A and B are shown apart, each in its own frame.
Chain A
Amino acid sequence: MVADRLQQVFREIFGDETLTVSDTTSAADVPSWDSLVHINLVYAIENEFGIQIEDERLASFKNVGEMQAYIEERGKGG
Chain B
Amino acid sequence: MPGEMPTQDNWANAQADPIVPRQHQVSGIDTAAAAADARPKKDFAGIAVSEISLRHCLDAARAHERAGDHAAALRWVFTGLDAGDDLAGWTAAAQLARRCLAQVGPLPRSAKVAVLGSYTTSQLAALLPVAAARTGVAAEVYECGYGQYQQEILDPSSGLYRFAPDVVVLAVHASEARLPAVSDDPEADVAREVARWTSLWETIATRSGARVVQHTFAVPPEVPLGHLTTRVPGSRAAMLAAVNAELGRAAADQVALVDCDRLAAEVGKRRWFDARYWNRAKQAVALDCVSILARHTAAVIGAQLGVSRKCLVLDLDNTLWGGVLGEEGLAGIALGDGPIGEAFTAFQEYILELKSKGVILAVCSKNNEADVREVFENHVNMRIKLDDIAAFSASWDDKPAQLRAIAANLGIGMDSLVFVDDNPVEREVVRQLAPGVDVIEMPADPHAYVRALAGYPYFESVALTSEDAARTAQYRARADAARAAAAATSLDDFHRDLEMVAAVVPLDDLTQPRVVQLIGKTNQFNLTGRRRGDAEVAALAADPATTVLCLRLADRFTDHGLVGVVIAVQRGTVLDIDTWLMSCRVIGRTLEDETAAVLVGEARRRGCTLLRGRYLPTAKNGLVAELYPRLGFVPADGADDPLGDAAGGTEGAAQPAGSTWVLDVATAKAPPGLMRVVDADGRSVEWQGAMT
Contacts and interface: CB of A to CB of B under 8 A. Distances in A.
Q: Do the two shown chains form a genuine complex with each other?
A: yes
Interface of A: 8-9, 11-13, 15-17, 34-36, 39-40, 42-44, 47-48, 52, 55
Given A15-B92, A15-B96, A52-B276, A40 B87 contact: yes
B409 interface: no
Contacts of A12: 88-89, 91-92
Interface stretch (B277-285, B433-441, B599-607): B277-285
Given A15-B91, A15-B92, A39-B287, 12 more contacts: A13-B87, A13-B91, A15-B96, A35-B521, A39-B281, A39-B283, A40-B287, A43-B277, A47-B87, A47-B288, A48-B88, A52-B276
14 contacts: A11-B92, A12-B89, A12-B92, A15-B91, A35-B281, A39-B277, A39-B280, A39-B287, A40-B88, A44-B86, A47-B86, A47-B288, A52-B276, A55-B276
A15 B87 contact: no
Contact of B88 (A9, A35, A39, A55): A9
Nearest to A44: B88
Contacts of B277: 39, 43
Interface in B60-93: 62, 86-89, 91-92
A43 B284 CA distance: 14
B123 interface: yes
Contacts of B92: 11-13, 15
A39 B283 CA distance: 10
Contacts of B281: 35, 39
A44 to B, nearest CB: 4
Interface string B131-166: 000000000000000000000000000000000000
Nearest to A41: B88
A35 B247 CA distance: 35
Interface of B: 62, 86-89, 91-92, 94-96, 122-123, 276-277, 280-281, 283, 287-288, 521, 523, 620
Contacts of B287: 39-40, 43-44
B95 A15 contact: yes
| Those 8 A-B pairs whose CB atoms lie nearest each other, nearest first | A15-B95, A12-B92, A12-B88, A44-B88, A43-B287, A39-B281, A36-B122, A9-B88
Contacts of A44: 86-88, 91, 287
A17 B91 contact: no
A16 B86 CA distance: 17
Contacts of B95: 15-16
Nearest to B65: A17
A35 B280 CA distance: 11
B288 A40 contact: no
Nearest to B288: A47
Contacts of B276: 52, 55
Nearest to A58: B280
Nearest to A52: B276
Contacts of B280: 39, 42, 55
B91 A43 contact: no
A8 B89 CA distance: 10
Contacts of A8: 88
Nearest to A43: B287
Contacts of A15: 91-92, 94-96
A13 B92 CA distance: 6
Contacts of A43: 87, 277, 287-288
Given A35-B521, A43-B288, A13 B88 contact: yes
Among B87, B283, B523, B620, max chain A CB count under 10 A is at B87
A8 B523 CA distance: 29
Nearest to B281: A39
Nearest to B274: A43
A40 B642 CA distance: 42
Contacts of A39: 277, 280-281, 283, 287
A55 B95 CA distance: 29
A36 B366 CA distance: 51
Contacts of A55: 276, 280
A48 B123 CA distance: 18
Nearest to B66: A17
B127 to A, nearest CB: 11
Contacts of A47: 86-88, 288
Contacts of A16: 95
A51 B123 CA distance: 21
Nearest to B276: A52
Nearest to B277: A43
Contacts of B89: 12
A30 to B, nearest CB: 14
Nearest to A55: B280
A43 B281 CA distance: 11
A48 B86 CA distance: 9
Among A8, A17, A48, max chain B CB count under 10 A is at A17
Nearest to B62: A17
A40 to B, nearest CB: 6
B34 to A, nearest CB: 17
Among B86, B88, B277, max chain A CB count under 10 A is at B88
Contacts of A9: 88
Nearest to B94: A15
Contacts of B87: 13, 40, 43-44, 47
A42 B464 CA distance: 43
Nearest to A37: B91
A3 to B, nearest CB: 16
Contacts of B620: 34
A35 B619 CA distance: 13
B290 to A, nearest CB: 10
Among A12, A16, A52, max chain B CB count under 10 A is at A12
A38 to B, nearest CB: 9
A66 B624 CA distance: 37
Nearest to A45: B88
Among A13, A43, A55, max chain B CB count under 10 A is at A43
A55 B277 CA distance: 10
Contacts of B523: 35
A33 to B, nearest CB: 12
